[in-house]
Structure 1
């Protein structure tokens, strides 16, 4: 299942890598992720879930909670899966201080402090497109994942 096929109120979790994945790594994540979600359950109830890699940089989980709600234990299992990817591919996916943004139609990322310096120096501005990895629902993902700094939480860094 694709993230696009989940209902608007589905839960979303976004994990950003500290580097871009190769196409081979994306294939590995997709294969292992499909295996994971085919067995992913919450207290014995199968979760209607999706996993995708976007822009070779983001691993995104989605759960449509109409069928079954994701419990603390099931969420812990997904974090364990993310940690397995980190170990296998030697990447960091849990560093929330990395900010992804578009610069000249390329997606790049930098540490929050470096991103703030680039904003203050004028290398980036309020119209720079950023990725808001704090979205929590499919509806928010569709409408507010990619947006200008001026319309995101990042505006506090201006």
Structure 2
């Protein structure tokens, strides 16, 4: 069942899908409607299942699901991945590549391949204080507290040396 994001517990599971490009203003309403429709129909057979989403920076699709009272199965996870693959195809973006790096440059969110990001670090185009998005977080609490962090506080800090 779709619920307001604020009503989801902090230990709810989270999946962050970064887009390889910012979505165009003309796409956003349609994408949000598709995401909401998916979440509303996701695991509909379970009365206790609660799920929501966030669409952040016009670039990140975040699915959030409480699975304590209605455990997510492989079929449920497959359904979400299938949905994300459909969005990739429709909007000609990459959403499933977790090895690309998203970070802030001023107010803009950048998306780079890891090898290009390492070059930016080497050339000091980004610094230890640059805000990075840790898209490997696992729950809502981490999303709210540890998703946007400095490079020096992230696992990417190993590339600073």
Q: TM-score, structure 1 length as denominator? A: 0.93
Is it true that 1:138 corresponds to 2:140 in the alignment? Answer: yes
* Pick aligned residue for 1:98 from 90, 100, 107: 100
Unpaired runs of at least 5, structure 1: none
For residue 110 of structure 1, report the CA deviation from its aligned partner: 0.9
Q: What is the rounded CA distance, in whole Å, between the counterparts of 2:105 and 2:151 in structure 1?
A: 12
Q: Look up the match of 1:45.
A: 46
Q: Look up the match of 1:11.
A: 13
For residue 155 of structure 1, report the CA deviation from its aligned partner: 0.4
Unpaired runs of at least 5, structure 2: none
Matches within 5 A, 1:1-150: 1-41=3-43, 44-46=45-47, 47-150=49-152
Alignment length (residue pairs)? 157
CA RMSD of aligned residues (A): 1.4
Cα gap change, 1:7 to 1:45, in 2 (>3 Å): same
Native 8 Å contact 1:30 1:51 kept in 2:
no
Native 8 Å contact 1:14 1:133 kept in 2:
yes
Q: Runs of 4+ in structure 1 displaced over 2 angstroms?
A: 1-5
Native 8 Å contact 1:62 1:138 kept in 2:
yes
Native 8 Å contact 1:15 1:93 kept in 2:
yes
